[in-house]
Structure 1
């Protein structure tokens, strides 16, 4: 076996300092018939688990370690076994959990470790001291090697334990430019400024021979590798954290007692529930899952005790009675017909995780609780890696090659959203990019090579792990947000080493629900509980059937709304079916489902024995649980086995499916089915199983949708206030929600100096717009206004008194203009136009207001009424949306026959042919495949906006030039495209000015 210089390879997880991806490294080793691969990045081990897994899959022996740089040189530690891996992982964690690298502290920590299970390669530099050399040698005994480099070879290459150890950052000589570009990006320099970057070593045996006796190098490499086990990271243990229960009894006993107490409390202590509970507990105990359930249950109970809203369930865990009894989920699985085996069963190879939704504005409190309860070393968030995308690659390469920013912007502009993952396709689809590639071939060549390289770490949006031992015994860690540790490995490699991920998700819709309930308590002096809301409220379903689904979780899209209407929705189950079918694939079943649901005919059962399973969904398999039940009914498969079959069908695992098909048909025949009928049923199941949805998840999430629909129905202004507070900087969404409120008959009160709030709120039968939406006001000035209002409300009794107070607190002319324009001073009875025209006089009088007697100061301004079009113009400029009146509303009144013009909000279904009065907001044109020019408009009115396509045949006949902000009447035909309602231009009617 021949070994070349693989001992100090740096992977691409040394961000912007290596071109070597783990898979590329493995491919290189295989190509060169090398049976061993070394992995030792600087300080971190981000890619170690990935590399070990790839190496084992490709019959290559991985040698896993970490390297550290000191003033006296580098030290590389390689794990001989799992104990050695723990030490290596600890060293990496010790360094990565600090804000900075303190050389003396790190050296002291290393020298007190037991190095018996690691191999140490010391790579001295030219200023290395003999004492350091001896210290390391004495600690490591027979596991010690000297690393030879092109700098130190004269001094050390004669030593018996010498190994070539120059660091390698790219595999092939031709990748030098790519590496140089990465260094330029990292250092923020131009490539022609990188003249101090020596051509580093790449993998080449001939080079090694120049610096070390190759036979000695190979001999020592063989000796080193012989001490290393094939797999060091995984010790094949599950690292469930133990739950510290108050009774100090085994967790299996504790979970059982808690569940039975709750069963008694809920008065569900009948045979059906007891049988289900005993079965679930038996499986949970056998799989060692008791502690996991208890930890998650405790976390949820903490949240509820602090008034943090928790979702009713997420994923398949909602099918567990134990989850329900522990308060983890809010769905009784027996009542809703949910299956435990969809979540957990003995036949399942991988362990599932329990995902929990919390209101997003309080998720951090959950993390802090877990951090405090289980300790810094037993709880961690999960690392993600942000990679270089196509646009960033082009920007970075353009910058380091000193290309004009305008040209770089043009390049990235023509990478469409559908091509952000494929540079070749982006170039193929854009003539502009093709021209730039011809002009700058080197940029595109290098960019194509660096796309996909990791650039920096991030934090998984939801995932956390618990561990029964110190985390670094299992996974190297780094410091994360708020001092919480973070796994260095991404989520894909955690389960294999015994760590179960739990998703702690922040859901904005739960925050909205929580806010609405709080607003109701303030505005109506009444309290409501989600537990007390009837799930059969007629008015709520009436709202859903009317298509008024704006702001409602899952149900906002035009396509979903259309299905809700056509389905004649009248239950939470109908909502669940809608969300389950409205996905690519199962969508093809929607027309037939609606037809069957709204028909009195019941001739849809494929088999009478399946009626109890499929009647509720009219003979159409909608849910994965139905697939499992059908397999059990026809072929006597256990539900656990049925779940395995379902998975095989969903993943199109042909080998497994063929195996199960034979067994299914044989068992079906034993149950008195003919072979042809059995095969028909198999294909029927197979067709639906690929797209079947998780019923546990569908019902749980539909409950959130229903809650929101109920709140919108019965507490509409509070509901909209919460929506508006969630889109404070989104002018389009704000305009949409305000328009809907007006349509429902609610009065909107514009920003007022006497309402120095930062949120929308409902009082006195009006929705009040806060001051912080005014452009140019800023949070500090708003804080000042609040403080003045709190200390002296009398200061806001007159306009001069108000302005006088504010002038000493950063009221500039521009802020005065903004406040006047949005109507913040309307409460004093002056028109906005007059206050703007007499701005100088007003400010001068206010400036002397507190220096003379108040009664000697009079503000004598003309009496004038603002024109609606002026108010609209002011508000659009300083708010970004209209409060008093939309310009089109003003013009609409002047149009003869305006009652025949549809509002955009009334366009809810495809194939509506109507006239609309709109303003053009955006125009784009393109050449179609026949060489004709097409046009795409975005148009809007007081109630919303819609995209309108003008085909070339129509566009070429138009006798008018279209322009942005033009007000037009057009006839359109609505259509659904990509689940979004848009329109085709049928006829251009006229321009309104």
Structure 2
């Protein structure tokens, strides 16, 4: 007997449904459905249509009639009512009968998300009635309204609801849904549902609430649900499915299950016959772009704009090769119908430039178009840089162009708003994305549900390679240790069995970081809508479906912070130097720029600042722009692992001979020293040697990149034959084709590489020629992005301040009388310095910083109270003031006191002062204040009579810790500074030396422990993770259980230690870490190294201190000799050295006494 499944939850019922729809075409599940003889099936995901188009095209491709539906949430009141407890929500199975029904279903689900979301996206009967045409419904599962009334014992009401739905949808468009999964409540209402059918004349239809493919998948589904709820499998309080029957049953099983009412089964065919959604083949649906009336169409208008734009770039005369290329591209674009596309993009980019919003020079393959260049969409000359139009738009393959545009992160939203205003708010939406359970994620998620310790889960997942496209099966196949682990450990085998069932499933919905869809009519006419985070309206279809299947205009508006950095630096240069720099037209042969690059001083340089990249830059020593482009292309896993990168470096340095299999290859490969670096080079060689057309060359590039063997073999024959015409013998031609095939897998998009290399060059040019302005801009643009107190992120403000110091630029701390909101440049004693911005202090936001700078104006603050009275205390709260004090930003308000004293005083007085100031401000408008006129000092002096004892100055350690807390670094000094003089004597390296010199193996580090995290392994043994930092940087450290047991008491936040360990690179994160083998306090280390200690004794040293010093020297007997360097009472005589009788062991009390009474630099030791 035939049967059609009408109630199915795909993987788009996120973290619930497990039915897969696509795997580079129809999924195995859909293929099996077709093989089992099912002619049709429906998709009815929970409250969404995420998977509707994915299902439609893949089901059809598998030979199955797709029925698009949704298990909707319907409320018995208004869907807009969001008051708790007023309305109940029920389930209703909706199916689209035709294209109009599909559009109405999209409208319903869109309204549910945009207007009716309250725990779930909800519709109501009124809007169902408004969009009922072309829709049919089934009464739903146990949570359907009819079923709920029957469970409540109100049969008559159940019948009324059934008749209401039938009247809304029309006779023949509503069915009573029968389900039997062996659930107790179903057994109660099944006969009653049949009675409702008989009583109302509404037909019945049998369904199974399918969530997974096979019956044995029930436990994997249970785990899937646990992941959704954040529960473990053994949690007694978790929600559990009461049946194992939610699988895709055979037609025979369904027939047997409902043998007592066969019409319920046959009616599934009837429903399927009524559902015939056919998507129109409308081609590309671009928004209408208005052109001036003097032009007949968009083709003539774009041609005019391009001629004018290119002539301007060519100083009035367009060279013949440029004109030929322009005519060719315009012909292809016009033939494909994409003139409007380019005009739309050029329009909003022109808006950005007109409104001083920085736009990137290009991104992706679009930089290869001279039309884009002529329209000022890109700033890269494609002919000069050897870029190919066909890499962007293949004339042999009709597909929507894809121009991704970089804007400054600050201006991106303004450009999107322009597009919204121009084409209509309802015609623009953001695009949804779906995260999937990748191999590692699936294993970690399942491990959590199975209650496997995190440390064990991490150990296992570290065995799974990070390579793109790695699956659990490929990892087991390639990693011997993983295969052995699964074979020997039943728990791990079980973990991987379940993880494989969940791997690749959709896990969560998000918003594409940049994607925007712009439509001719309202977006909801083409795709259902949802509401994402921050109330953003998104499509329910992903970008690929919107562009490729529906033909809609999808544009990526990307925010690139580097463009803001460049723009800010250019503004600073103009304001300070009066120099107006056109960053798009700087010389590409600037000597200082290449000197900076060759010395690898590339911190802050776009794409070139990582440790590995700096090492590469140093070895390659770029000497021309093409070298920078190659760097961007080569610094990737493929070229690095294949040896291609090293070969390139050696060839540039003249250490490896450059050879060509035929001289014809030299013009194509010369700029990359005979190495195939770019995809465009593969395309050029196939045209030049094999006689391929531009379209064929791009198709070959794709086939080689994706290893499409059949296509490649056909192309090989054509290539060898084409080479014969160039007098290249078949053996050589075959060798060249093999090389092309090999390098195509690593080849990079040259258009993208050149465009991004230009941004890299622009930042390097600014750093080399206007270093202080560039560093100031760089620091400013880290505000809000830095990570003060973060356990996981580098605080780049600290990194860049250190870089500025190395460049010879002093950075002064924040000061309310000098600082601006952002970092700024000041002249102090004839020297330019960088001043810390107020906004960069923790807990000081934009509003507070602006208030402080604005209130200061041209009149500096003259005291703490003056500051509090003048600033807006609503913008600057107690936490803000406290942070400013700790940062040292208020030190200048108490002149004559040390920072230690000034900060102690203000911290002690802060609360009282804030209270007094708040009252003054409150009463300034009152009659009390009028007694004193405008001057409130008399009032204040009364309040200040009750003075407290002056607080003790902060200890230097306290002061530094406070600075670290709110600035992210020590500004007034460093806790390790006093030990710097000892470092060479105790065999210690700095973290900077480790990173710069790529040191591996055993090291000793003198540093401070921060961010301690105590852990437990699977054996419940304690271990610790922490950060070890010194004046030059920081590094992650791990003290595993065996070592930790011996040194646990020494691992404390802010402890100064001498750490010994091995430097390793973590394969999973590619991060350098130190595996700790020992930790000691610094004093015993110095004591062991010290053969001789010299203590400086000034004249006038008190007898009390002398006696105490002698007592402390007596305390620790050892082998270290003690000498006194005694200052002579006679100023004309040099100090004299006296050997004491003491032989000691250095200890903390002794060193503290010496430093507290004589100064930190009053003692030294020799080995």
Whether TM-score is above 0.5 comes out as yes
Number of equivalences: 974
Quick one: distance in 1 between partners of 2:879 and 2:137? 67
Which one of the candidate residues 133, 136, 140 is aligned to 2:163? 133
Say whether the 8 Å CA contact 1:462–1:504 is kept in structure 2. Answer: yes
Cα RMSD after superposing both structures:
5.1
TM-score (norm 2): 0.72
User: What is residue 93 of structure 1 aligned with on the other side?
Assistant: 110
In the TM superposition, residue 295 of structure 1 has moved relative to its aligned partner by 1.1
1:544–1:569 CA contact under 8 A, matched in 2 = yes
What is the aligned counterpart of 1:345 among 394, 405, 410?
Answer: 394
Cα pair 1:82 1:235 within 8 Å, conserved: no
Structure 1 residue 980: Cα displacement: 7.2
Kindly indicate whether structure 1 or structure 2 has the higher relative contact order, using CA contacts under 8 Å at least 6 residues apart.
Answer: 1
For residues 969 and 445 of structure 1, the distance between their equivalents in structure 2, rounded to whole angstroms, comes to 42
1:898–1:299 distance in 2 versus 1, CA, 3 Å: farther
Q: Which residue of 1 aligns with 2:290?
A: 244
Counterpart CA distance in 2 for 1:297 and 1:839 is: 56
Q: Within 2, Cα distance between the matches of 1:325 and 1:141?
A: 61
Q: 1:919 maps to which residue?
A: 1007
Distance between the aligned counterparts of 1:723 and 1:13, measured in 2? 42
Q: Deviations over 1:228-266 (max 9, x none)?
A: 45x734635222333222336321222112111223333
| Partner residue, 2:1140 | none
Give 3-state SS (helix, strand or coil) of 1:635's partner. coil
Q: Deviations over 1:399-421 (max 9, x none)?
A: 999x8xxx866666656567599
**1:326-378, Cα deviation, whole Å (9 max, x unpaired):** 11100111122211111112223544411111112221112212222112443
Alignment of 1:513 onto 2:566:
yes
Counterpart in the other structure of 1:822: 887
Cα distance in 1, alignment partners of residues 567 and 754 from structure 2:
20
Could you tell me which residue of structure 1 aligns to residue 757 of structure 2? 702
Pair 1:754–1:50, CA change in 2 (3 A): same
How far is 1:818 from its partner?
5.0
Instruction: Give distance in 2, aligned partners of 1:900 and 1:180.
Output: 54
Q: Which residue of 1 aligns with 2:924?
A: none
- Other-structure match for 1:53: 57
CA deviations over 1:477-520 (Å, ceiling 9, x no partner): 22456776422112343312323532211112112212222333
C-alpha deviation, 1:566, in angstroms: 2.3
Task: Determine whether 1:164 maps to 2:206.
Answer: yes
Q: Identify the range of structure 1 (233-242 vs 548-557) with the bigger mean alpha-carbon deviation.
A: 233-242
* Partner SS for 1:505: strand
| Aligned equivalents of 2:399, 2:457: Cα separation in 1 | 42
- Aligned twin of 1:759: 822
Residue of structure 1 equivalent to 2:67: 63
1:742 aligns with 2:760: no
| Native 8 Å contact 1:800 1:842 kept in 2 | no
Are the aligned partners of 2:139 and 2:162 in contact in 1 as well (CA < 8 Å)?
Answer: no
Q: Deviations over 1:91-141 (max 9, x none)?
A: 3334333244899985344434573x5555455714346587377458545
Contact 1:804 1:850 in 2 (8 A): no
**Does the alignment pair 1:290 with 2:339?**
yes
- For residue 1100 of structure 2, what is the aligned residue in structure 1? none
Contact 2:463/2:482, CA 8 A, preserved across alignment: no
1:813 and 1:212, CA in 2 relative to 1: closer, same or farther beyond 3 A? same
Name which of structure 1's ranges 182-191 and 449-458 shifts more when overlaid on structure 2: 182-191
Indicate conservation of the 8 Å contact 1:904/1:916, yes or no.
no
| TM superposition shift of 1:575 | 0.4
Equivalent residues in 2 for 1:420-819, closer than 5 Å = 454=506, 456-480=508-532, 485-494=537-546, 495-587=548-640, 588-599=643-654, 604-728=659-783, 729-731=786-788, 732-755=795-818, 757-764=820-827, 765-775=832-842, 785=852, 789=856, 793=859, 796-799=861-864, 801-802=866-867, 818-819=883-884
Contact map agreement 1:96 1:478 (CA 8 A) in 2 = yes
- Which residue does the alignment assign to 1:307? 356
C-alpha separation in 2, matches of 1:82 and 1:960: 69
Aligned mates of 2:1003, 2:650 — CA distance in 1: 31
TM-score by length of 1: 0.84
> In the aligned structure 1, how far is the partner of 2:674 from the partner of 2:447?
58
Return the alpha-carbon distance in structure 2 between the equivalents of residues 181 and 963 of structure 1. 38
Does the C-alpha gap of structure 1 residues 457 and 759 become closer, same or farther in structure 2, counting only changes over 3 Å? same
CA contact (8 A) 1:711 1:719 kept: yes
Q: Please report how far the alpha carbon of residue 279 of structure 1 lies from its aligned counterpart in structure 2 after TM superposition.
A: 0.5
CA–CA distance in 2 between the matches of 1:63 and 1:694? 41
Larger radius of gyration: 2
Question: Which residue of the partner structure matches residue 963 of structure 2?
Answer: 875
Give the drift of 1:700. 0.3
Task: Give the distance between the partners of 2:534 and 2:1065, measured in 1 at CA.
Answer: 49
TM superposition shift of 1:901: 7.2
Matched, 1:259 2:289: no
Distance 2:347 2:1057 in 1: 59
Measure, in 2, the Cα distance between the counterparts of 1:451 and 1:602: 47
Confirm or deny: 8 A CA contact 2:1064 2:1074 kept in the other structure. Answer: yes
Tell me if the contact between 2:991 and 2:1005 (Cα under 8 Å) persists in the aligned partners. yes
The question of 1:832 aligning with 2:832 is answered no
Task: Give, in angstroms, the shift of residue 576 of structure 1.
Answer: 0.4
Q: Deviations over 1:704-754 (max 9, x none)?
A: 001111111223233223333344442442222111111222121112233
Partner of 1:221: 268
Q: Which whole-Å CA distance do the structure 1 matches of 2:571 and 2:167 have between them?
A: 67
Going from structure 1 to structure 2, the CA distance change for 1:840 and 1:675 (only over 3 Å counts) comes to closer
SS in 1 for 2:406: strand
What CA distance in whole angstroms lies between the structure 2 residues aligned with 1:840 and 1:672?
86
Contact 1:636–1:667, Cα closer than 8 Å, also in 2: yes
Question: How far does the alpha carbon of each residue in 1:764-819 deviate from its partner, in whole angstroms, 9 at most, with x for none?
Answer: 222122344445667776676556545x946x213464468789889999877654
The corresponding residue for 1:26 is 30
Q: Is the 8 A contact 2:205 2:264 kept in 1?
A: yes
In 2, Cα distance between the equivalents of 1:758 and 1:868? 28
Of 482-491 and 540-549, the range deviating more from structure 2: 482-491
Consecutive unaligned residues in structure 2, runs of 5 or more:
22-26, 77-89, 150-156, 180-185, 789-794, 917-936, 1016-1022, 1088-1167
* Residue in structure 2 matched with residue 3 of structure 1 by the alignment: 3
Between 122-131 and 278-287, report the one with greater CA deviation. 122-131
Distance 1:439 1:779, change over 3 A: farther
Whole-angstrom distance in 2 between the partners of 1:767 and 1:806: 24
Please give the residue correspondences for 1:376-455 in structure 2 after superposition, counting only pairs within 5 Å.
376-386=425-435, 419=464, 454=506
What corresponds to 1:111 in structure 2?
129
Matches of 1:135 and 1:303 in 2, distance apart?
52
1:154 partnered with 2:194: yes
2:78 maps to 1:78: no
Structure 2 CA distance for partners of 1:592 and 1:812, relative to 1, 3 Å: closer
More displaced, 466-475 or 657-666?
A: 466-475
Relative to 1, partners in 2 of residues 1:816 and 1:78: Cα closer, same or farther, differing over 3 Å?
A: closer
User: Aligned partners of 1:742, 1:713: CA distance in 2, in Å?
Assistant: 15
**Per the alignment, do residues 625 and 850 of structure 1 end up closer, same or farther by CA in structure 2, a change over 3 Å counting?**
farther
Unaligned 5+ runs, structure 1: 927-933
Q: Kindly provide the CA deviation profile for residues 906-927 of structure 1, in whole angstroms up to 9, marking residues without a partner as x.
A: 963557999986426589999x
How far has the Cα of 1:316 moved from its partner? Answer: 0.8
SS in 2 for 1:334: coil
Partner of 1:930: none
Structure 1 residue 598 displacement after superposition: 2.9
Structure 2: how far apart are the matches of 1:358 and 1:217?
A: 58
Q: Indicate how the Cα distance of structure 1 residues 167 and 779 shifts in structure 2: closer, same or farther if over 3 A, else same.
A: same
- Is residue 372 of structure 2 the alignment partner of residue 323 of structure 1? yes
Q: Is the Cα contact below 8 Å between 1:319 and 1:333 reproduced in 2?
A: yes
Distance in 2, matches of 1:975 and 1:456, equals: 31
